[in-house]
Amino acid sequence: MQFIIQRNRLINSVQHVMRAVSSRTTIPILTGIKIVADSNGITFTGSDSDISIESFIPVEEDGDQLIEMKQTGSIVLNARFFGDIVRKLPMDTVEIFAEDTQHVLIKSGKAEFNLNGFDPSEYPLLPQISEEDVFSIPGDLLKMMIKQTVFAVSTSEIRPILTGVNWQIEDGNLICVATDSHRLAKKSSPIDVPGDVSYQTVIPGKSLLELSKILDDSDHPVNIVITENQILFKTKNIHFFTRRLEGNYPDTSRLIPSDYKTNITLDGKVFNDAIERASLLAREERNNVVKLASQGENMLEISSNTPEIGNVSEEIPIESLQGEELTISFSAKYMMEALRAIDGTDITISFTGAMRPFIIRSEEDPSILQLILPVRTA
Amino acid sequence: MQFIIQRNRLINSVQHVMRAVSSRTTIPILTGIKIVADSNGITFTGSDSDISIESFIPVEEDGDQLIEMKQTGSIVLNARFFGDIVRKLPMDTVEIFAEDTQHVLIKSGKAEFNLNGFDPSEYPLLPQISEEDVFSIPGDLLKMMIKQTVFAVSTSEIRPILTGVNWQIEDGNLICVATDSHRLAKKSSPIDVPGDVSYQTVIPGKSLLELSKILDDSDHPVNIVITENQILFKTKNIHFFTRRLEGNYPDTSRLIPSDYKTNITLDGKVFNDAIERASLLAREERNNVVKLASQGENMLEISSNTPEIGNVSEEIPIESLQGEELTISFSAKYMMEALRAIDGTDITISFTGAMRPFIIRSEEDPSILQLILPVRTA
């Protein structure tokens, strides 16, 4: 294998596939990046047990020659050393020459690295995915839907299924739901599939987080293929594989109350800042609890109390309160994360009493819903 | 105690004195910031066993009223909570009202914090320093002299004196020297003292690092008072106290060779980049060793070899080599830190043989010298 490649493109591909490489793997070859050079271009692959990422650089793109291919072939190189080396190379082009697996020369200008490689035939094969059932989502929408739900997955392995985001496609909509059983995030969006197509799958939260870091903010389509065990996300030059989580995702629709006793509409930014201040003294408590108490139709009081440190209270204006007056306590962390996901100017919070879950919605964007379970306080 | 203060100035002072507050102290009151309000203004104090910092905000400055003083007094508040609170307050002014030590109100707009305080009479007194022996250094020069030497102090407590920087004033010059016995950094500068004044003191490296973070890049004078146990650095509104290290600093002048067998002059940036690349594969080795080998009068080879990973070599151009050809090995980390301190375009490295310490100097600035002991290799 021997080729000359543009350094910037090489850095970019290596950074992408390194997201799938774990330094803690017990399988030595998975600490490496597989490089396969054929007449069309070069494919880089990184993988751990959950995620595999392929990044392809074509020999030529839009009339620019990106690679001068001297000899096709393949090699596996230690991901961390290879990544460090390509970032620090002195010139804009790099020559890589794998004489055999133990002698790989990386050359740029006067700098020459000889790296020991691994035998590429020992690298595990990625799943072969037939492309029958493909649908597509604009990249920026996909990135947004991940961001608005993935933070709410469970970090505990007690119920593994809750570490994933539930994706459901029906009636031409994609509905994403994540919950750790203390709060829930839900986002839906119409997507371009026939109305009679329906899927349901649970995708690991960690996989979606890594995927969202690779996606850019353009509306270029991401093609998605769901198979029995795997899901493949395909952009122009990247293939991102993740395993599906096994098991039945709980029916969360019953969690979401349908009638409300109190509806409060207010400025999300003002509310978030007050919650953040109220949480300052409470943050070392396990639950980081703040209290919300309505004060008539124009005002809320946000407060918290940590006896050994002190207490804080703040009155903030609201646009409206409809229904019963209310006092309720909840996790400041969950509320701030929900508000960050909604990211709207005006929000409405709908309560069904101090001991029942409440929901937060954006006045501008009805497609997103956040739910939080209150905390029982003395 | 009761006053209204501009929030930005408050944040600034709290950030400065927090540099002296350690969260790991075993003395509860030292987790706090002492606030003393008198008719002139407010003094904030933070302290641990090594460093104490006072920051003063006057009632009025340059015709601007910074503080509305309602009642003088004093209090001690938990540094971390107080710091978090003032950063997050909603308005540009803050009212602080200490009714008694257990009830301190911090109010900004509609946000009200009640914080438990400490009794200020229990806060340790700072050393009273008579201001007989004062000299002064421009702040930017002081900051530079710290930066160019402090990184070379020892991090090991085996010889505590080496964890400090040796300051010597004689013949109107300040000479700063730091060494961990594997490398040495030395910087001298003329300062504004009478020629017959001489001092010698060793200042903890950690204290100098914190001091350099507080100093701005202006040439406003910093007044320095050296007493038997303490040193005080005074800027317009900040007093920075540090203890002196006890013990005799070793005579480092004999370490620095005076005649050389090989002098190499080259571009510091080109050299640094090649060292950095050569160190990429070696960085997990304890010594992170790279090898330099002269190749006639116009070229150097920089290389390293880590058998289980690979090897790297690079030829770089030099401006001149005078004297004997040379092959020598040294720590890449020490070399990169020395080059960062010198920060000059053209540097000269002077060797007295492969087993002897060598020195690195800037062609532009003879006031700085870096010395490194080579590593013996097979």
> Does residue B99 sit at the A interface (CB-CB below 8 Å)?
no
Domains in chain B, ordered, with CATH?
2-122 (3.10.150.10), 134-252 (3.10.150.10), 256-372 (3.70.10.10)
Chain B closest-CA separation from residue A271 CA (Å): 12
- Residue A355 Cα distances to A219, A304, A332, A375, B5, angstroms: 42, 18, 16, 8, 42
In this complex, which of A81, A104, A310 lies closest to B280 when CB atoms are compared? A81
Task: Report residue A179 as tokens.
Answer: 């919950």
Q: Nearest Cβ partner of B276 from A88, A115, A276?
A: A88
Nearest-Cα distance to chain A for B88, in Å, is 6
Chain B CB within 8 Å of residue A337 CB: no
Interval B310-352: pLDDT, tens: 999 999 999 999 999 999 999 999 999 999 999 878 999 999 9
Instruction: Tell me how far CA of residue B11 lies from CA of B21, B123, B193, B195, B235, in angstroms.
Output: 15, 22, 35, 41, 18
Q: Which residues in chain A have Cβ-Cβ distances shorter than 8 Å to B104?
A: 310
CA distance A358 to B316: 67
Q: Diameter of chain B by CA atoms?
A: 78
ipTM of predicted complex:
0.86
Is the Cβ of B310 closer than 8 Å to some Cβ of chain A?
yes
The answer, for B97 touching chain A at a CB cutoff of 8 Å, is no
**Per-position pLDDT tens, chain A of length 378:** 999 999 999 999 999 999 999 888 889 999 999 999 999 999 999 999 899 999 999 999 999 999 999 999 999 999 999 999 999 999 999 999 999 988 999 999 999 999 999 999 999 998 888 776 788 999 999 999 999 999 999 999 999 999 999 999 999 999 999 999 999 999 999 998 887 888 999 999 999 999 999 998 999 999 999 988 899 999 999 999 999 999 999 999 989 998 999 999 999 999 999 999 999 987 655 668 999 999 999 999 999 998 888 999 999 999 999 999 999 999 999 999 999 999 878 999 999 999 999 999 998 899 999 999 999 875
In chain A, % of residues over pLDDT 90: 85
Asked if A90 and B311 come within 8 Å (Cβ–Cβ), the reply is no
pLDDT in tens, B76-95: 999 999 999 999 999 999 99
Quick: pLDDT tens for B241-265.
999 999 999 999 989 998 999 999 9
Contact B103, B114 (CB under 8 A): yes
Q: Which residues of chain B have pLDDT under 50?
A: none
CA distance B178 to B164: 7
B276 lies within 8 A of chain A by CB: yes
What pLDDT is stored for residue B196 in this prediction? 84
Q: What is the pLDDT of residue A108?
A: 97
CA distance linking residue A303 with residue A295, whole number of Å? 13
Interacting residues of B95 by C-beta distance below 8 A, sequence separation 6+ = B2, B3, B4, B5, B105, B106, B107, B108
Q: What is the pLDDT of residue B205?
A: 97
